[in-house]
Structure 1
Amino acid sequence: MPRYYFNIIAGDGFRRDLEGTELPSLEDAKAEAIEDARALMSDAILLGQDISSRRLEICNEAGDVLLTVLFKDAIKPVA
């Protein structure tokens, strides 16, 4: 099963996922990224912060960016 890494990119920094997560497909990784973005935004809202301009980059084990999920797009329903 492939391992995907979810790096968080913000205007003022970068947080690298050093562990990654094994998931069956890139589509599953996208769903995981959307859930993660929603959880992080929920926590931030409770603290009075807006982090909707951040994004998650889904990378493979080689570090290649496979997909980017914008936090603001995670607010929309998943199709």
Structure 2
Amino acid sequence: MPRFYFNVVSDTGMIVDPEGSELATVEDARREAVQDARALMSQAVLSGKDISARKIYICDELGTLLLIVPFADTIRTAD
């Protein structure tokens, strides 16, 4: 199975994922990134912080950028 890395990018820098996760497809990696972004944002909100401008860069084992998941895009708006 391929290994995907989830690097969190903000306006001040990047937090590099040194371990990555083995997942079957890029779509599985995107779903994991969405869950990670939501978890990080919920923790930040409890601390009174807004980190919705951050992004997760999904990279492969060679460091090639495969997909960008903006935190703000993971929030569903209420009807």
Q: TM-score, normalised by structure 2?
A: 0.95
Are positions 1:47 and 2:53 aligned together? no
State the partner residue of 1:19: 19
Residue ranges of structure 1 left out of the alignment (5+ in a row): none
Unaligned runs of at least 5 residues, structure 2: none
Whichever residue aligns with residue 63 of structure 1, its letter is G
Q: What RMSD in Å do the two structures reach over aligned CA positions?
A: 1.0
Matches within 5 A, 1:1-79: 1-76=1-76
Aligned residues: 77
Deviations 1:11-38 (A, max 9, x none): 0111000000000000000000000000
Identical columns (%): 53
Q: Give the distance between the partners of 2:41 and 2:15, measured in 1 at CA.
A: 15
* Runs of 4+ with deviation above 6 angstroms: none
